[in-house]
Copies of this chain bind each other. A is one copy, B any other.
């Protein structure tokens, strides 16, 4: 049954379908062989127990459907010359995809040891899901893939990101009906609202409904064709259904549906490129209903298997122990007639090999799956263009992310003729002070716009959608096909897509081990609206957890930067936007903060990752009594204020200030390649002095990084704490675990000797803390002395008499 519309009429009786069916048989045969066999790959002799792998691990259920689609896409490529990238949402159907890559030749080209002969076939089947071999999922080792199908939900968003600014590309994206139940996949259906046929390529979703998950039915699998079509239509797609259990009938109908889809895509793009885009395009989509585990065992031990959930993994189990199962497996394998598919040398017979596309068009060789056909770096103007001119460090405030907005604007301008950069953000580009990009481009939306809209158009390249999943997933697809980008998010809500960050880091880590994979631009995640400055949003908006998530991942791919000001942020941005194969996490608040370093100093600071801020301490190169260390913008300001208090009121105290902007200089080098050698580490933090640390994230994350350093107990870390406050966290309230006064008090406690002025400063700090608590409840804002504090060099050596300045706003103009 089908209602595939349009396209040229097809001859159902054509011999083409026999050939295509045999090609499909070959793919299915190799799939079953990979799951079961370790020897006797072509069944040249009767099947024996020793031929069977000791452990049977793999997923048969989805595999025949994937192979059917792959074979038909080959046909479409041969017929049309289309450039198609294949995304297998049901990526656990790995053996099917590998089978097809092997048949078309791209697999042996990349892995010559898996050649197209008997020995190659033996190695092909042995390697699958065995030690030293390949995993059972599509993933980095799979040629032609940009998608790991383990954690379900991201296939369609990866596909969508891949076609952005790739006008000549079609991504054929198979979505399983299990994956279709996930939230991220459901969100992905709205792609037509964001794909512009004038400049973007096309996604062709093939929703493969086989009706079952591991052991239960799927929602879409049980709904009517009309209902599933209505769902896709509501999202803007124009779907057709291809459905059946008879291959003889499916082949012509699926071919017709694909032909029609290709014709429709071509027409949509042609019209849009001729006349411009008007509204979301009615992109074609295919709903394919075929039995789970099709062509596999119909009934096993009297229980139905084909077309049921029981076909999900290994339909025949215990094959080594159960002779009946062994016999049934042999019948199943022989049903594909391997002797007619492969010649005596173990090569696919010529009439079938001829069905594979020519080398440049083979999906396994698609350059888009390996860094893109023409990956070019981003043009970055000299940072001097955007750098703030910082006079006295800490004297003036500026919205830290604003200059970055200018830099991104120019990237948009300078790539206008060869678009390869996009910014992805839930809906906070302006709120994050990156609004300068709208001088160069708009937000993208294909839906109608209105008079009151600002910077919205079909031609925009800023991608705003209120879904961290979509933002990150689109960006991942964009990066894995060789382009560049940035995902900017509220810090707390970046946890929404934390699992995607984990999976992407795993992908990169694995891909780096494969010599044939080109490096791809890094995944850059900018966290703003941080836990320290969510003035009105409160507890639910405070969460530095993504740092912890990222720190656990492999040091070979993750980087965490906390630039303390604008110029360090610019230098960080320059670095990460030029880097490859990393997950770069950048944490910086968007609001007005003191600025400290001129561009040159910022570059040096970034290059070092952490350095002594001599201007903020009073020790020069000599040993301090106490080290005040900080990481993150708010902690830096508080540390400077504490250092100021200490120097102002206890002038004999030798204070050193160290700022850490690259968090991963802290662990030893065997943990992370950025880890400082012990000598350099101790040059910063001394070998034995106490270090009072003000740190952006959870304190224990910082302690974790210090593990392996000598004497870590001397580091006294104050970080973000889950306070469960019922109050609105104004600056001082948020900081109540680590504010300047607390930091100064901690430093006084840690020095270990008495110095004049200490007691007075202690009293002063305590007084200010009490006073502030009362003040904010009365006046509903911070004390002026907190609100308006800026750094100036402390008047060193002057007698400090804090007691004589009862309101804390004495003649020095700061405190």
Binding site for B on A (CB under 8 A): 38, 53-55, 57-58, 92, 126, 129-137, 139, 141, 148, 150-153, 178-179, 181-190, 193, 213-219, 222-223, 227-228, 230-231, 233-236, 304, 307-310, 427-431, 443, 445, 447-454, 456, 464-467, 469-470, 492-493, 495-496, 498-499, 502-503, 505-506, 509-510, 512-514, 535-541, 543, 545, 548-549, 551-554, 556, 671, 698, 700-701, 703-705, 707, 712-713, 722, 724, 726-728, 730, 733, 776-777, 779-781
Contacts and interface: CB of A to CB of B under 8 A. Distances in A.
A369 to B, nearest CB: 17
A429 B215 contact: yes
B215 A430 contact: yes
Instruction: Please list the 8 inter-chain residue pairs (A to B) with the smallest Cβ-Cβ separation, ordered nearest first.
Output: A57-B536, A135-B538, A150-B540, A183-B183, A222-B447, A186-B186, A183-B187, A231-B234
A449 B221 CA distance: 11
Contact of A54 (B469, B498, B671, B781): B781
B540 A503 contact: yes
**Which residue, A182, A429, A445, A506, has most C-beta atoms of chain B within 10 A?**
A182
Given A181-B187, A308-B452, A465 B509 contact: no
25 contacts: A55-B730, A129-B728, A131-B728, A132-B728, A135-B539, A135-B728, A136-B728, A139-B538, A150-B492, A151-B492, A179-B466, A181-B466, A181-B470, A183-B184, A186-B186, A222-B445, A227-B234, A231-B234, A307-B452, A495-B549, A506-B539, A506-B724, A510-B539, A551-B700, A553-B722
Chain multiplicity (copies): 2
Nearest to A447: B222
A91 B552 CA distance: 33
A213 B429 CA distance: 12
A685 B549 CA distance: 29
A454 B185 CA distance: 27
B467 A54 contact: no
A447 B219 CA distance: 7
B131 A453 contact: no
A467 B131 contact: no
A217 B535 contact: no
Contact of A707 (B492, B505, B703, B777): B703
Given A54-B779, A136-B538, A215-B429, 12 more contacts: A150-B537, A151-B493, A178-B427, A183-B186, A183-B470, A190-B219, A193-B222, A213-B466, A223-B447, A233-B234, A309-B452, A703-B703
Given A452-B308, A728-B136, A150 B541 contact: yes
A310 B376 CA distance: 39
B452 A216 contact: no
A214 B427 contact: yes
B179 A449 contact: no
Contacts of A496: 151, 153, 499
A453 B234 contact: no
A712 B700 CA distance: 14
Contact of A722 (B190, B234, B539, B554): B554
A182 B187 contact: yes
A131 B776 contact: yes
A702 B150 CA distance: 27
A183 B469 CA distance: 7
A231 B222 contact: no
